[in-house]
Structure 1
Amino acid sequence: MPLKKKKASLKKPKISKTIMLGELIQKFPKSAPFLAEAGLHCIGCHISAYETLEQGCKAHGMADKEIDLLLKRMNASV
């Protein structure tokens, strides 16, 4: 019986709520305009190395639904 070759699944990396803001900007630079549009100017903030995306969003008054929409938009762009 011939062996079936497995196709390598190349999943796109996914941005999550738990990613640190500094890591987000470093790994996914295309996310920066989405953050700026949402009022999150994380690129120059010294807290970005210690705060998750969700924490930053909540600190700027974003609701869970707004955070989910932001994540969806950013993941569609990477």
Structure 2
Amino acid sequence: MNLTVTKETLIGEILEADRTTAPYFFEMGMHCLGCPSSTMESLEEACMVHGVPVEELVEKLNGHMSK
């Protein structure tokens, strides 16, 4: 699945498209990826909760997924 990540993209959509993105979420302190509510959060919501700049993470994820 080819996905372009935006700040509105759901965590679950990102993980479904590419499971190898999980370390990026662990890096930001989001260790509960299996939790149903975490997969329904947007990237922006997760970043706000964990104090991570959303645009930086969007760039990292898109860079990783484009390889």
1:42 CA displacement: 4.3
- Alpha-carbon distance in structure 1 between the residues aligned to 2:40 and 2:3: 21
| Residues 28, 50 of structure 2: 8 Å contact kept | no
**AA at the equivalent of 1:43:** L
TM-score in terms of structure 1 length: 0.68
**AA at the equivalent of 2:64:** S
Give the aligned length. Answer: 64
**AA at the equivalent of 1:20:** L
What's the % identity of the aligned pairs? 31
- CA spacing shift, 1:54–1:15, aligned 2, 3 Å: same
Alpha carbon RMSD of aligned pairs, Å?
Answer: 1.6
TM-score in terms of structure 2 length: 0.77
Gaps of 5+ in 1: 1-11
Gaps of 5+ in 2: none
State the 4+ residue runs in structure 1 displaced beyond 3 angstroms. none
